[in-house]
Amino acid sequence: MLAVGTRDDVFEIALRGQLDVIEAALLEAAEAETPMITEAAQHIIAAGGKRFRPLLVALTAQLGPDAVEEEVVKAAVVVELTHVASLYHDDVMDEARMRRGSVSANSRWGNTVAILVGDFLFARASDLVSELGPEYVSIQARTFARLVQGQIAETVGPPPGVDPLDHYLGVLAGKTGALIATSALFGAKLSGCSPALQQRVAEFGEQIGLVFQLSDDIIDITSDVTGKTPGTDLREGIPTLPTLLARRSVDPADARLLELLDSDLSDDAALGEALALLRVHPAIEQARAEVERRAAVARDLLDDLPPGPARLALVALCDSVVSRAV
């Protein structure tokens, strides 16, 4: 779990306890009528993860007086199931072989099963969100539409005349920001926050979602200090903030880097050279500055929230996400 340094031990112990309940509920929600489908549906969940979306639900549910524990858990499971389901589909489209340190579902059971398991998890999320009420169903449906449109935009690439970086940020808003915004909104609604505060919390979620992904972009280049394998996105040719910024360069000294970015980086030596050039390129500091700028915008959106450990935790979350990238 990302750091939520509130210096309130009682609050943080209770939060971790709630996240443990959510984790158990996630596995239960992925149970199917046969052992094989259950195993496949629980595959990515069991591999772990940051659980950023459930964490946001749990935190924003503390902003008002009305949250019911059972409903908070249900909402957290809905958003994480939706996220996990999208990963099954992503891995098929990307022909991924690994996911969270384990063999991907499509590698183990084949593309057809992986797609259908993703569909099964989407169905489970839809069933659970219906128990929260029609308004939550509508929010979830609109969120899913944005997620799909973001994925399509990523697949087809930027239209002629559109800046690739602007296109990429739009893709992230749909693929990542939308569901994280909904995570924050669900908690705020369940807590009884006013409509104005709900809107502000949703805006915070969208902004911090982009910060979260953009910090991952930097980590892909500089990750030898994080324990994550560096250059995964780079090798697969996936656009990221640092590479898109580097591609804007007109400096003749960057000719070799640009050549490598357009080449096959399956060779370890070529990948290592590209990483070495990128790590000293101004694009990395530009990317870090953009992450810090967006985190500051997200932090400012918290100013009107009621004081207390939940607000402190959300502020700390901004700092934690930024620190991943620096």
pLDDT at residue 21 greater than cutoff 70: yes
Q: Do residues 312 and 8 lie in contact, with contact meaning Cβ atoms separated by under 8 Å?
A: yes
Domain 9-323 has CATH 1.20.1200.10: no
Rounded Cα gap, residues 122 and 78, in angstroms? 9
Average pLDDT over residues 222-242: 80
Which are the contacts of 199, defined by CB distance < 8 A and separation ≥ 6? none
Q: Using pLDDT thresholds of 50, 70 and 90, give the confidence band for residue 68.
A: very high
pLDDT at residue 315 greater than cutoff 50: yes
| Per-residue pLDDT tens over the stretch 167-184 | 999 999 999 999 999 999
Q: What is the pLDDT of residue 262?
A: 95
pLDDT at residue 243 greater than cutoff 90: yes
pLDDT at residue 90 greater than cutoff 80: yes
**pLDDT greater at residue 223 or residue 243:** 243
Number of alpha carbons in the 13 Å side-chain half-sphere of residue 25: 24
**pLDDT greater at residue 224 or residue 64:** 64
Q: What is the pLDDT of residue 225?
A: 53
DSSP-derived secondary structure for 119-188: HHHHHHHHHHHHTT-HHHHHHHHHHHHHHHHHHHHHHH-PPTTS-HHHHHHHHHIIIIIHHHHHHHHHHH
Rounded Cα gap, residues 11 and 122, in angstroms? 32
Q: What is the pLDDT of residue 236?
A: 85
Q: What is the pLDDT of residue 134?
A: 98
Q: What is the pLDDT of residue 271?
A: 95
Q: Using pLDDT thresholds of 50, 70 and 90, give the confidence band for residue 2.
A: low
pLDDT at residue 3 greater than cutoff 70: no
pLDDT at residue 5 greater than cutoff 90: no
**pLDDT greater at residue 200 or residue 232:** 200
pLDDT at residue 78 greater than cutoff 90: yes
| Per-residue pLDDT tens over the stretch 193-223 | 999 999 999 999 999 999 999 999 999 999 8
Average pLDDT over residues 148-169: 96
> Quick one: which of 232, 242, 277 has its CA closest to 259?
277
Percentage of the chain lying above the pLDDT 70 cut: 96
**pLDDT greater at residue 5 or residue 304:** 304
pLDDT at residue 108 greater than cutoff 60: yes
Mean confidence (pLDDT) of the chain: 93
- Write down the H helix ranges in the chain: 9-29, 35-46, 52-60, 69-94, 105-109, 111-130, 134-156, 164-172, 178-191, 195-222, 232-236, 241-247, 255-261, 268-279, 282-300, 309-323
Structure tokens of 291?
Answer: 């992450």
Q: What is the pLDDT of residue 96?
A: 76
Q: Using pLDDT thresholds of 50, 70 and 90, give the confidence band for residue 226.
A: very low
